Amino acid sequence: MTDNSALDPEDRKIVTLARSARARNGVPEGAAVRDETGRTYVAGTVALESLKLSALQTAVAMAVASGATSLEAAAVVTEAGSASAEDRAAVRDLGGPDTPVLVAGPDGTVRANVTAG
């Protein structure tokens, strides 16, 4: 577990936004990403008959659709212990391999800080 108070305020913000998206939408995961200009994009899991996206994939897609050219950081709130390889790949595609990915539990406590690598 990571002490959230040790996080940069902007990183705490995206964890809070991701947690809020998960709770508000009643979905398994919530995510938020911050682009190179500081804008944030928040999303929940998409589970339609014809379209299945994780929350983090959806947040990255929203950033791309809005014109972002890079990511500074990403956060996902999930029951899982880690960000999936597919989620990290989506972040890496836009932000590069060194982009931090914060993985938090449903209570918002950051459990892991990995890179998109």
Is residue 73 within 8 Å of residue 11, measured between CB atoms?
yes
**Tokens 């956060």 sit at which residue?**
75
- In sequence order, which ranges of the chain are alpha helices (DSSP H)? 9-25, 55-65, 85-95
Pairwise CA distance, residues 21 & 41, whole Å: 11
Q: How far from 63 is each of 71, 87, 95, 109, CA to CA, in Å?
A: 9, 14, 11, 24
pLDDT at 74: 98
> Residue 55: is its pLDDT beyond 80?
yes
> Residue 36: is its pLDDT beyond 70?
yes
> Residue 66: is its pLDDT beyond 80?
yes
pTM of the model: 0.94
Pairwise CA distance, residues 90 & 73, whole Å: 12
